[in-house]
Structure 1
Amino acid sequence: MSNSARRTGLFLVITGAIFWGISGTVSKKLFQQFTLDLNWLVTVRLLIAGVLLLTVQFFIKYPSQIWDVWKNKRSAFQLIVFGLVGMLSVQYTYMASIKSGNAAVATLLQYLAPIMITIYLILRKHLVLTQKDLSAIILALVGCFFLLTNGSISQLSVPKIAIVWGILSGIALAFYTLYAIPLLKQYDSLVIVGWAMIIGGFGLSFIHPPWQIDFKNLTLETSLYLVFVIIFGTMIAFWFYIESLHSLSPKETSLLGSLEPLAAVLTTVFWLKEPFGLFQWIGVICIIGLILLLAFNKKQSKKEPPLRAS
C-alpha cells in the first residue's frame, strides 16, 4: 500500500470522527438555542442522510446491491428490524441524551456499548472473561462514576433523564452492532445503513412528519447547523469512515474513532461553555482509555467493518 493511500485513509477517518463528535454539540445548540423539536430533527436527519448514502452507493459502488437486499425475504425482514429497533433506537436515544444533558456525556455513555457487548457475549458463553476484559469493565465503571458525579455521589453532573437516555443509547448501539453482522456479510455497509436510516426515519415520520415544523425557527444560522448535522455529521462522516477501511485496518479506524468523544467533549466545554470539573476530566480520560484499550485488542474481519451510529 502506498504512503499516499495511507495518508488519505488517515485523513478520512480522522475527519469523519471529528465530524461525528462536533455534530453532537451542534445538535445540542439546535435544541438549546433554537428550540428545535427532537423528533423532527431525528426524522429529517435519518431520511436525508439515508437517501444520500444510497446515492453514493448508486454512483460510486455497486448499484445493484441497493435492491438485492429486498429480494431475499429473510434479509428484508432483518433490515426492517435493524432500521426500526437498531438505527432508530440508537439515533433517538443519543439525541434525547444530548437534549437532556450535553453532547460530551451522551457520546461517552454511548461508547459503553463495547462493554455491554462483551458482558453479553460472556453471559452467552461466547467469550471467556480475560484480564483485559476485566480492566475494560473497571475503566468503564470508574469513568462513568467520575463523569456523572464529578466525584460527589450526592450530586449528579447531568440530569438523571440524560443518564437514562445515554445508557439506553449504549444498549441500543450494542444491539445495533450485533444484529447487523449477518447483513454485513452479504451486503455493502452503505446499503445496510442507508436503508436502515430511511426505514427509521419513515417509522418516526408517523409520530412527527418532517413537513410539520415551525418555519420561524429555520433561520439562516439554524439551516447551516442543520446542514452540518445531516450532511457532514451523518452522511459524510459515515462515508469517510467506511472509505478509510480500504487503506487502514479496522483496528486503526476503531482507534482513531476515539477522536469522536474527544471532539464532543472539547466542543462542549470550549464552544458551548458547559463546565467540566476535575473529576469529570478524569472520567473522560478513563473512558477514552477504555476505547483505546478495546481498539488495540479488537479483532475484526475485513469483511465486517465496524458500524457507526452517531
Structure 2
Amino acid sequence: MTELNTTETAPGRTPAGSDAVAPPADAVAPPASPPVPKDRRKLFAALRWTAAVLVFATVGAGVTYGITRVERTDVPGLSTKDDGRWKYPALVKPELPAGAALPFAEDNPEGIHYAGLNQLLLPAPAGATPDSTLKLEKDEAVPVDTFLEEYQAGEREKLKASLVNGGLRQIAGRGWTTPDGTRTRIYLLRFHGSGFVDAFKGCTISTGLANASVLEADPVWSEVKRSQRNDLGSDGSASGPSWRSAHDVTLYQEAKPTGDEQVRFGCVQSGDVQALVLQTRKGQAPVVPLHQTVILQSQLLG
C-alpha cells in the first residue's frame, strides 16, 4: 500500500505472554433514573451490554471478541431472537512483522499499529454486498481525494491540506450494503503518531459531511456510556491503558430534518489510527448496527 510519506516507525520488541484475554465482566446495572419512553427503554436494554463491552475490552492487553459469538440468551438485555445486530464473522487479529509489539502493549504505549492497514478493517457481516461505488486501489488503499468525497465540497481543500501536512501516511477503506438497505463505509487513516490523530479535524460534531450538513451527538450512545462511567467509577485501579486513553470513541447522527436518508457517524481514535464509520439508509438508519460496528472496529484496533 502506497504511503504519503516514507518515514517508518521502528518496530518494537515482541510482546510477551499470550494474546488471549478473559471475557469482560458483567456490566453493572445503571442507577435508577426517571422512566423513559417505552421504545427507548427497549433500545437501552439492547445496547447497555454492548456499551459495557467497549468499556472493558480495551482495559489491559489483547482484544475481546465475545460480542460476535456469544449467544443472545446468555447476554443480559439481548435475549430476543432479533435485536438488530448483524452477524459478523469471528474477528482475527492480523499478523505482525517479526519483533513488532502489539498496540498499547507495555513496550508500545503510543499504540502504534504495525499490521497492514487493510488487515485492521472490520470484515463485512453475513449477507452484505460489497460497495462497488467505493474507489479502492491495491490492498484496499483509498486515495485522499476519494476519501474527501465524504465531506462537503467547501471543506475538502482545507481538510486535504491538513492531512498532507499533518502526518498522514495512508488510508484504507471497506464498504458494503446489507439486505435492509443500510450502506456502511469504514475508513482507517494511519498517521505518523497519535499526536497527529488528535489534531485531525474530520471527525467532530462540526464536521461537514457531504450527506449530513448538521450533526448531533448520538443520544442513546451518550446516555448508555454515561451510565457505564458512573457505574465503573474512576480508572485508577485498572491495569494497563484505560478505555478512555486507548480508544476515544464518539458517535453522531444527522440532525433532523434528515431528508430522504439518515446518516450515522462513528469515530474511533486508537493510537496512530483514526477510524471513521459512516452508515446511511433511506428513511431512518438503525441505531444498533452502528454501535455494534464501531465497537467491533475498536476491538480490532485494540
> Which is helix-richer, 1 or 2?
1
**TM (normalized to structure 1)?**
0.29
> Which is strand-richer, 1 or 2?
2
